[in-house]
A and B are shown apart, each in its own frame.
Chain A
Amino acid sequence: MNQAEVQERVVKILTPWVKNEAALKSVSAETNILDDLKVNSARLVDVVIAFEDEFDIEIEDEDVDSVNTVGDAVGLISSKLG
């Protein structure tokens, strides 16, 4: 799976939680999940569970701490996919 495909699926998972739909239209690897997309930080645990289900991977709590942007999420998932 290439990075573009992973990003497409990451954005799809984030979509229901996004409060700033305008930012979603111009989403890129640099887009910040909390600050730009306005995803409620409490809901990140739900996003992570959805990532695990979608890509059949396990994500540790400490991995999540380094995820700020869409690109961070894509990078983390890609590294788990190997």
Chain B
Amino acid sequence: MSRRVVITGMGVIAPNANGLASYEEALRKGQSGIRHVEEMAAAKFACTVGGVPQGVDALAEQRFDQDELLAMNMSHRYCSLATLEAWLDAGLERPARDDDHVHWDTGAILGTGIGGMDTTAAKVVPLTDAGKVRRLGSTSVEQVMASGISARVSGQFGLGNQVTTNSSACSTGTEAIAMGVERIRAGLAERMLCGGAEAASHYIWAGFDAMRVLNRGSNDEPERASRPMSASAGGFIPGAGAGVLVVESEDAARARGARIHAEVAGAAVNCGGHRGGGSMTAPNPESVRRCIDLALGDAKLTGDDVDAINGHLTATGADPKEVGSWAAALGRGPGELPPITSTKSMIGHSLGAAGAVESVASVLMLKGGFVHPSINCEDVHPEIEPYESSIPHTLRELPEMRVIIKAGFGFGDVNACLVFRKWEDGA
């Protein structure tokens, strides 16, 4: 029998809150973190609102030394802050910087969809084009390399197991957790810091605006702009942040007497191969259903066991198809589908971080016995209307919740799905 894998710590930087306690409060209240973004307006974006975490630099200055901060761009700051919170939340001790101990059994899979493009755009390109390469100094490579965030964290915590950065567009954060689970089950690590980070940068978001996949119709009402499952959903709202989960073998967690948030009962990743309606930008519905099936099968559960769904649900035309895929995969049609909610309705779509930030939300809901509101869909999309009773427009208390399922779908037709189960000691 394969090893059970549990979550012992979490940390989060999100547009509507930093830190677990504030984040749970914001989720319960249905608090939006979407605001006007001046850089988007100045650059003539059609969408001029986004989800930008607040107060991050001040937090980073409290938690990290000056020499570290000089080499930490936005995604490094988000990721390091979320990792530090997760590490301490797991009951682990923050190592001193001159402590030579290496945690050989602990690694990190921390992903990003886009990487350090904010640094590339603001420094590397202009200085290189101006013939001033020398002025890039020593810190540009580590901030633009894809693995920058995991490399940063490995030094902060003395990690000695696999340390890497995965990238699978908008399924990155979800995939990172699935990969950590696999590694622990295989006996190759006892503890993995898993999640993702994405910077807030109009350079990162520009291409999405050009694709016309961002909502351009709600600039005057930022808090109402992210509208998953709504008839008036006109595209997603770009966001940013980081979510990190300490994923650990049950044995290791028990051995050190760690408090357990939840079990990762099942995990799956797959791809639709750009077939059957799938493409670079749209998921093959069969692959979505298979991914959900695989995750449930991995957890040895069926669709009837699922008490709540935290969907990918971005507020594009894909939402109705996604709801249909959930219903088909769980075998639960209108009136039977469990509550389905979208964290993105409050924080927008944080791309490579989304699956991680939303997995943190999922575990908080599971632990707290609630489903957070999916805001801004008072006008439910006509194709989703049959499932209206499953949409929590306001906070839904669900104290008996035992299983919540979370999926992320990304460009490239890639999918990742996680099944979180309430941790009942001895279960």
Task: Tell whether, in the assembled complex, residue B67 and residue A43 are in contact, meaning their CB atoms are under 8 Å apart.
Answer: yes
Task: Tell whether, in the assembled complex, residue A17 and residue B70 are in contact, meaning their CB atoms are under 8 Å apart.
Answer: yes
Taking a contact as CB atoms closer than 8 A, the residue among B67, B69, B138, B139 that contacts A19 in the complex is B67
Task: Tell whether, in the assembled complex, residue B67 and residue A17 are in contact, meaning their CB atoms are under 8 Å apart.
Answer: yes
Within 8 A of B (CB), among A41-60: 42-46, 49
| Residues on the A chain within 8 Å of B66, using CB | 15-17
Is the CB of B300 closer than 8 A to any CB of chain A?
no
Is the CB of B135 closer than 8 A to any CB of chain A?
yes
Q: What is the CA–CA distance of A40 and B66 in the complex, to the nearest angstrom? A: 13
Task: Tell whether, in the assembled complex, residue A42 and residue B67 are in contact, meaning their CB atoms are under 8 Å apart.
Answer: no
Taking a contact as CB atoms closer than 8 A, the residue among A16, A19, A44, A45 that contacts B70 in the complex is A16
Shortest CB-to-CB span from A63 to chain B, Å, is 13
| Chain A positions near chain B (C-beta within 8 angstroms) | 15-19, 40, 42-46, 49
Main secondary structure of the interface of A (DSSP, over half): helix
Task: Tell whether, in the assembled complex, residue B67 and residue A45 are in contact, meaning their CB atoms are under 8 Å apart.
Answer: no
Q: What is the CA–CA distance of A70 and B157 in the complex, to the nearest angstrom? A: 31
Q: What is the CA–CA distance of A15 and B66 in the complex, to the nearest angstrom? A: 9
Shortest CB-to-CB span from A60 to chain B, Å, is 11
Shortest CB-to-CB span from A36 to chain B, Å, is 15
Shortest CB-to-CB span from A2 to chain B, Å, is 27
Within 8 A of A (CB), among B131-170: 134-135, 137-139
Is the CB of B256 closer than 8 A to any CB of chain A?
no
Q: What is the CA–CA distance of A19 and B137 in the complex, to the nearest angstrom? A: 19
Residue tally, chain B, CB below 8 Å to A: 11
Q: What are 20 A-B contacts with C-beta separation under 8 Å?
A: A16-B66, A16-B67, A16-B69, A17-B66, A17-B67, A17-B70, A18-B67, A19-B67, A19-B97, A19-B98, A42-B138, A43-B138, A43-B139, A45-B134, A45-B137, A45-B138, A46-B70, A46-B137, A49-B135, A49-B137
Nearest neighbor of A39 in chain B, beta-carbon distance: B67
Nearest neighbor of B97 in chain A, beta-carbon distance: A19
Shortest CB-to-CB span from B349 to chain A, Å, is 35
Within 8 A of A (CB), among B60-76: 66-67, 69-70
Nearest neighbor of A46 in chain B, beta-carbon distance: B137
Shortest CB-to-CB span from A18 to chain B, Å, is 8
Task: Tell whether, in the assembled complex, residue B97 and residue A46 are in contact, meaning their CB atoms are under 8 Å apart.
Answer: no
Within 8 A of A (CB), among B70-100: 70, 97-98
| Residues on the A chain within 8 Å of B70, using CB | 16-17, 46
| Residues on the B chain within 8 Å of A44, using CB | 138
Q: What is the CA–CA distance of A42 and B138 in the complex, to the nearest angstrom? A: 6
| Residues on the B chain within 8 Å of A43, using CB | 67, 138-139
Nearest neighbor of B67 in chain A, beta-carbon distance: A17
Shortest CB-to-CB span from B145 to chain A, Å, is 14
| Residues on the A chain within 8 Å of B98, using CB | 19
Shortest CB-to-CB span from A67 to chain B, Å, is 16
Q: What is the CA–CA distance of A15 and B70 in the complex, to the nearest angstrom? A: 12
A-B pairs, top 5 by smallest CB distance, nearest first, are: A16-B66, A46-B137, A17-B67, A45-B138, A42-B138
Considering residues B97, B134, B135, B137, which has the most beta carbons from chain A within 10 angstroms of its beta carbon? Answer: B137
Besides the known contacts A16-B70, A46-B137, 17 further A-B residue pairs in the complex with CB atoms under 8 A apart:
A16-B66, A17-B66, A17-B70, A18-B67, A19-B67, A19-B97, A19-B98, A40-B67, A43-B67, A44-B138, A45-B134, A45-B137, A45-B138, A46-B70, A46-B139, A49-B134, A49-B135
Shortest CB-to-CB span from A59 to chain B, Å, is 10
Nearest neighbor of A41 in chain B, beta-carbon distance: B138
Q: What is the CA–CA distance of A46 and B139 in the complex, to the nearest angstrom? A: 8
Shortest CB-to-CB span from A52 to chain B, Å, is 9
Q: What is the CA–CA distance of A40 and B68 in the complex, to the nearest angstrom? A: 11
Q: What is the CA–CA distance of A42 and B67 in the complex, to the nearest angstrom? A: 12
Q: What is the CA–CA distance of A40 and B138 in the complex, to the nearest angstrom? A: 11
